[in-house]
Amino acid sequence: MRPVPEDGGAYGGSRPISEVEPSPFAFDGRGIEYAPMETLPGPAPEETRIQEAIAAEAEWIADLLSRLVRADTTLGNEEAGQRVVEAALREIGLDPVDVWMDAETLRAHPLASPFDWDVANKRNIVATWGPGRGNGGRSLILNGHIDVVSPEPLSRWGERSPFSGDREDGWIHGRGAADMKCGLAAILGTVKALHGLGLTPRAPVHIQSVVEEECTGNGTLQTLLAGFTADGAVVAEPFGAAITTAQVGVLWFKVRIEGVSGHAAEGSFTVNAIERSLHVIAALRELEAELNASPPHPFDLFSHPINLNVGAISGGDWASTVPGECITEYRIAMYPGMLLPDLRARIEAVVAAATSDMEGTAQVLYGGFACEGYDIADDAPLVRTLAEAFVRQEGTPPALVATTGTSDAGVFGRMGIPAVCFGPYAEEAHGIGERVYLPSVVQTAQVLGLFIREWCGLAE
């Protein structure tokens, strides 16, 4: 991650969001042409009113974010955070509804990612603000996910709990502060301020807090299947001063190797499944190199856009026994335009070739992410309207970036809803010492407020 300046953080204390580099997971290779800044008129009174109202909610936003971070919402524990979101929505004056995860419906849908865990008691929360369609504006989804990845190893966090929600020198610390409870706090702060001004969008705005973004994207898919669709969506992921318009797809898979177990003293009659797994890893690294050899634009701006991650490995249970089974779990990325069946076929061919001379079996299994890449044109109405709101707030255009990560923007895109990511500035997402810079959360909310005014329209 980038170093933090000594004068108060990556923003330099009070510097605007426009002066900050985008997320290190993204690369700025494109931009929108605008008129020279000196030709832009000053902010309209209504815009200033919106900016000031959102700024006045800064303490509420910070307190909400701390409470969200203090809730451990790792896989299977999301409800603690959803209760915080539900209470905040009711405080704003909205009426949230539950969208329960439905395993049968999801498994029947072609865009759902496979899963082998229980989802029966998990809910997404959606609150609709504004009237029905047909009032002159464009409808909108503001989306954030409540789930976070594991903070392990806990010993690396030192004296600060990974779920502390501590505030220090303008930052909020803890797992999920960056990815992406900061985005949820910005969304809710925006709506609270606009609602408090007595403003109502001319088309419905669906505020979503979803589960399972970190492993499947099925939470967002479930809300769409429940009928909460719109003319556009903004996912408030923390990419800093950037609008993310292209992202890779992601495939999770496991390789199960069955060897021949036996006593370590008789190794010549055994097949070590762990060692065979190392051959498979090496072969998959060759596939990774092939995928990085000639990346399409804009991913050619990255030195290594496709990453194979060996995320977990389990095998053996005794030092003097040759392990007869090993299961290795992987994540690999794919470019927009690549098809999941094609990538699966290549993986299976690589595994088969790497294990063809061994006794025992090798099996490729799928579970978790199975999503293709997504991109949206730089001049799409959603992108231009959000970028222009950024200019109105910050006085300079945002970066338009591609990312080597994935997000629920891809779920919306694959369901026919234009979507982008835009959110606060944060550091160490998924890492030790995760944190978000609080002024950027407020500034994100201010940009979203101006964007809603242009995209949806606002009425007294």
Which residues are part of the catalytic machinery? 147, 213
Evaluate the CA torsion angle 425, 17, 187, 242 in order and state its sign. Answer: negative
Q: Are 339 and 354 in contact (CB under 8 A)?
A: no
- SS3 for 117-136 is CCCCCCEEEEEEECCCCCCC
The answer to whether 261 and 321 are in contact (CB under 8 A) is yes
Hey, CA dihedral for 378, 379, 382, 388, is it positive or negative?
A: positive
DSSP secondary-structure letter at 17? G
Structure tokens at 251: 């495939």
**What are the DSSP calls for 282-323, one per residue?**
HHHHHHHHHHHSSPPTTGGGSSS---EEEEEEEE-S-TTEE-
**How far is Cα of residue 317 from the mean position of the Cα atoms in its chain?**
36
How many of the other CB atoms lie within 10 Å of CB of 95? 9
How far apart CA 256 and CA 329 sit, in angstroms, is: 9
Q: How many CB atoms lie within 10 A of CB 430?
A: 15
CB distance 328 to 280 below 8 Å:
yes
User: Measured between alpha carbons, how far is 82 from 256 in angstroms, rounded to an integer?
Assistant: 36
List phi, psi (to 5°) of 175. -60, 125
> Going by C-beta distance under 8 Å and a sequence separation of 6 or more, which residues neighbour residue 220?
124, 143, 145, 208, 210, 213, 408, 411, 412
Q: Which residues contact 279 (CB under 8 A, 6 or more apart)?
A: 354, 355
Contacts of 169 (CB under 8 A, 6+ apart): 8, 9
Residues 6+ apart with CB under 8 A from 168: none
